[in-house]
Structure 1
């Protein structure tokens, strides 16, 4: 997904984390050290740092032993009360047909003892995995100082254009007085100035009044006029009404994916938040409780088939986002994916 590492984003506004390309044992060791350092910085107790070290070593070691094009993300995760460390391992390896069997101790596909996945399950506060034979595996894990928070209803991932240290794509999630809103942003161009525009969009999103998506997007448009601008879309998931309310400017794609049947696209209007807009309009779309909302930048192509991923859309938003980013993200642009479902 990137080079050896991508610098983390500042100020705690967006924990972009660090991506590692894991192809050899020395990089696996670097992943473990990076995770440990982050855990210490976040104030995790010593025993949880030790647990995280085991999880990181096993995840990275599995990529070295089994994976093709294996990459691993290390980043902080936070709630209002505590912080933890999240690891996302992504590969294009052979995949696992029987995940239950593969997670059990003693199973191996390379002649080793086969204790890696079982150790991850035992030491992690939370984990999720999806694998398709011939396509690869996504395995995510979190280690928190205490009990993990409830399962996230939304999650996203970004990665920069190859050769760039930061991504101009960004996402944000908020639950403001019962309004569950998500934002996907693509800063104009790439590199530091694109990232700065997206960072301002995140600040403005979290500072915005508690209001429908169109009003929030107008707020972002005004706040971003000193940046180079960005494509931005905001979705609000309303479980009581069974609706997604959606407003977008520019080339952010928003899609509703039901468990059965075709995807349904949502409308973003032409424009650049912070600079050009004819109008901001909001559209309502019905959504069933078992559907998901997927938003992505133009660094992710739409030409992928949901039928090729059995069971994926029952997994966590993070695993879904990582799988789509792996298989549909392009190398010629920043790429970002955000997934949400009705809580």
Structure 2
């Protein structure tokens, strides 16, 4: 079996799902990734069903279907995640749609039910008239606890790599996330972001402003980046935030209210006047959303009933679908307290 194409073992691979033949390509990519990650044969077979059914559903029922195949990891093991998003008619009754025998396309209606049965974990949100977002994971055995943070990136149309990136870590009791946007796009922007992620992952735990300062000093040999670091402190009920450049940070309350967080002007690695850290209330049920300028700020949580209660993956994919631009790399991260 051939090795995976560059990028599939990190950011993953996006598919535009419009024709029936795409389902076979998605299935093959998922099987190859699972083999690379060492999943057993029985779970690769289950994943094959999940991938084919998910892509098939997009072809049959969706408009502008997109699908991402990527790895998911915890410290001791890895699995495969499929994120599917569309602008289709949506589902008014998700429970009924998940049941075998229900179909809106004259088929047997076994797709969603089969996906949920074969997956280790799944989450789905749908709004009639807006579309559906679904995240599905297949692990070798039982799924790990749901992630407290997750992100998605998508390259500018025509590019094979993205200059946007993110990282998530827990170190010395600190839950921290990074969002980074390498200047421009293409391989040089990608290199700047990858270096920022590497330094973030290897830097000792410290307050966000200290981490941003360390990143600024470390990536001076790259073309530079806009970046921000947030720390979620559930015991204090706070999110601590520090940023340089045009990374947007928002706290979205359980009721959909929004509060912006401040990133200061500058280019990490090249120029900055100051780095400051700000604290914001983080009430129960709230989420932190951070994104690059490839996401336009026209997204309103109140337009998506119940979305904020869903997984970070599904929230991030919804924002990317409805607010992401094709004229730039796009990246979004969502985090919540456990």
TM-score (norm 2): 0.97
Residue 44 of structure 1 is matched in structure 2 by 39
Distance 1:261 1:130 in 2: 16
Tell whether 2:280 aligns with 1:285.
Answer: yes
Structure 2 residues without counterparts, runs of 5 or longer: none
Query: Where does structure 1 differ by over 4 angstroms across 4 or more consecutive aligned residues?
Result: none
Alignment of 1:155-194 (within 5 A): 155-194=150-189
Deviations 1:275-312 (A, max 9, x none): 10111100011111210000000010111222110010
Structure 1 residues without counterparts, runs of 5 or longer: 1-6
Tell whether 2:262 aligns with 1:267.
Answer: yes
Residue 4 of structure 1 is matched in structure 2 by none
Give yes or no for contact 2:14–2:67 (8 Å, CA) kept in 1.
Answer: yes
Q: How far is 1:8 from its partner?
A: 4.8
Which deviates the most, 256-265 or 268-277?
256-265
Deviations 1:133-189 (A, max 9, x none): 110000110000111110000000000111111110000000001100000000000
Deviations 1:51-92 (A, max 9, x none): 000000000000110111101000011111111000001100
Instruction: Give the RMSD, CA atoms, in angstroms.
Output: 1.2
Give yes or no for contact 2:84–2:133 (8 Å, CA) kept in 1.
Answer: yes
Alignment of 1:126-165 (within 5 A): 126-165=121-160
* 2:31 partner SS: helix
Distance 1:192 1:312 in 2: 34
Tell whether 2:96 aligns with 1:101.
Answer: yes
Tell whether 2:4 aligns with 1:9.
Answer: no
TM-score (norm 1): 0.96
Residue 235 of structure 2 is matched in structure 1 by 240
Distance 2:120 2:212 in 1: 36
- How many corresponding residue pairs? 335
Give yes or no for contact 1:8–1:16 (8 Å, CA) kept in 2.
Answer: no
Structure-2 change in CA distance of 1:233 and 1:333 (3 Å): same
